[in-house]
Amino acid sequence: MSEHFDVYGGARLEGEVEVVGAKNSVLKLMAAALLAEGTTTITNCPEILDVPLMADVLRSVGCEVDLQGDTVRITTPAELSYRADTPAMGKLRASVCVLGPLVGRLKRAVVALPGGDAIGSRPLDMHQNGLRKLGATTEIAHGCVVAEAEGLHGAQIWLDFPSVGATENILMAAVLAKGTTVIDNAAREPEIVDLCRMLQQMGAQIEGAGTSTLTVHGVDELRPTTHRVVGDRIVGATWGFAAAITRGDVTVRGVDPHHLDLVLEKLRLAGADVTTFDNGFRVVQPDRPKAVDFVTLPYPGFATDLQPFAVALSAISEGTAMITENVYEARFRFIDEMKRLGADARTDGHHAVVRGVERLSSAPVWASDIRAGAGLVLAGLVADGVTEVWDVFHIDRGYPHFVENLNRLGARVERITTSPDRG
């Protein structure tokens, strides 16, 4: 069976949408449950494909995992397997986050190389260098990261780049190391803060969460906890862009608007009226958006995950926008799909120049990753005719109830299932 979305152009999104926990947090929190024997409960989980995949990864090392609606219960046994090489590992990037906890707890791990979005080169050198500093040996062998240590000890670690995944893996190994670890140039994303909070509730001693220096005082053991996942700022921002692109009026609940300060400022510059409240924000776009430049950077910079939406917005804005991609070089592949929809764009290395056009025109397009897929759907909402978006399994990996939410906001998007013989 193959699935695509038919996206009917001419929509104006209006209404309220609720955002649940962040994909890029819940998967790491699930991995953190490996650090403590007993049952850890995680609430506000998104119903997306990656959560059951991560559950399979945890089961493969010996955990029991129970998924009920928005709650995941993980029971971690005293005896864990150090080998995480189930096929589920290859289907998502976050699977590599079991490396740190397994090395931290067992001093040994064999972890299949992760999969995930094809958005450019995604090496693991910083993860491995961090583990080496903590006293482990590590190599890539037979498609797996292999790591082993007699014991882990605290260390001073400087990251070349504030990598989200490397910060998480090193942090989760360091919480059970002997002595103090300092991670400098650490990632500051809200999802890292969320992980630090959960680890702290489990008994870890971490200072500096949300800053670029994380100090971890190792402890002998951690205890299970109950934790609510932070709201998904990327999904929240997607709805903000959807409002701006369709000249709509959308209220987003369930996300801390401070996690989107820069994004909301960009939407204001594009001409939107943006108001914020405790756990959300409202974007009203009265007129055609104005072109705004975007530069992707680690948090608190403009997230690379939001770059496709910046391109989609620029494609229909008045004026010319320059978009600079500093994190994942292959993300501009999305622009080729946007050109099928009539976008006037060209790329040169890290830069894309997008000249806004009045109208996009529908075409069949292919999602290459989660955010590119969602970006194509938003572009389809303002293209003449019906845009077919293919390979929508990418979107299902990151957006819970995407089609239902779009239709509730006034769009017309249909999920079409085709059997292979009907092509």
Residue 307 binds to ligand UD1 (criterion: CB under 6 A): no
- 6, 81, 222 from 102: Cα distances, Å: 43, 8, 13
Token digits of residue 282: 């409202």
In sequence order, what are the residues at sequence separation of 6 or more whose Cβ sits closer than 8 angstroms to the Cβ of residue 308? 331, 334, 371, 372, 374, 375, 376
Alpha-carbon span 266 to 4, nearest angstrom: 31
For residue 196, the minimal CB distance to ligand UD1 (Å) is: 15
Residue 60 binds to ligand UD1 (criterion: CB under 6 A): no
Catalytic-labelled residue, pool 50, 70, 85, 117: 117
Closest to ligand UD1 by CB, 215 vs 304, is: 304
Interacting stretch for ligand UD1, rule CB under 6 A, among 4-12, 161-169, 242-250, 265-273?
161-169
How many angstroms from the chain centroid is the CA of residue 291? Answer: 26
Token digits of residue 212: 């670029």
Token digits of residue 329: 């070089």
Query: Judged by CB under 6 A, which of 1, 69, 121, 423 binds ligand UD1?
Result: 121
Closest to ligand UD1 by CB, 294 vs 317, is: 294
Residue 65 binds to ligand UD1 (criterion: CB under 6 A): no
Residue 219's φ and ψ, nearest 5 degrees, are -125, 165
Question: 321 to 350, contacts with ligand UD1 by CB under 6 A?
Answer: 327-328
Query: Judged by CB under 6 A, which of 194, 232, 305, 337 binds ligand UD1?
Result: 305
Using alpha carbons only, what angle is made at residue 131 by residues 370 and 234, rounded to the nearest 5 degrees? 20
DSSP β-bridge partners for residue 419: none
Active site residue 117: yes
Residue 34 binds to ligand UD1 (criterion: CB under 6 A): no
**Which parts are annotated binding residues for UDP-N-acetyl-alpha-D-glucosamine?**
93, 305, 327
Alpha-carbon span 28 to 242, nearest angstrom: 28
Question: 79 to 108, contacts with ligand UD1 by CB under 6 A?
Answer: 93-94
For residue 190, the minimal CB distance to ligand UD1 (Å) is: 11
For residue 117, the minimal CB distance to ligand UD1 (Å) is: 7
Residue 24 binds to ligand UD1 (criterion: CB under 6 A): yes
Closest-CA residue to 24 (of 225, 163, 157, 145): 163
Is residue 127 a contact partner of residue 180, using CB atoms and an 8 Å limit? no
For residue 407, the minimal CB distance to ligand UD1 (Å) is: 26
Q: Dihedral sign for Cα 104, 105, 107, 109, please.
A: negative
Closest to ligand UD1 by CB, 12 vs 122, is: 122
Closest to ligand UD1 by CB, 120 vs 410, is: 120
Give the interface with ligand UD1 as residue ranges (CB under 6 A).
Answer: 24, 93-94, 121-127, 161, 163-166, 303-305, 327-328
Catalytic machinery residues? 117
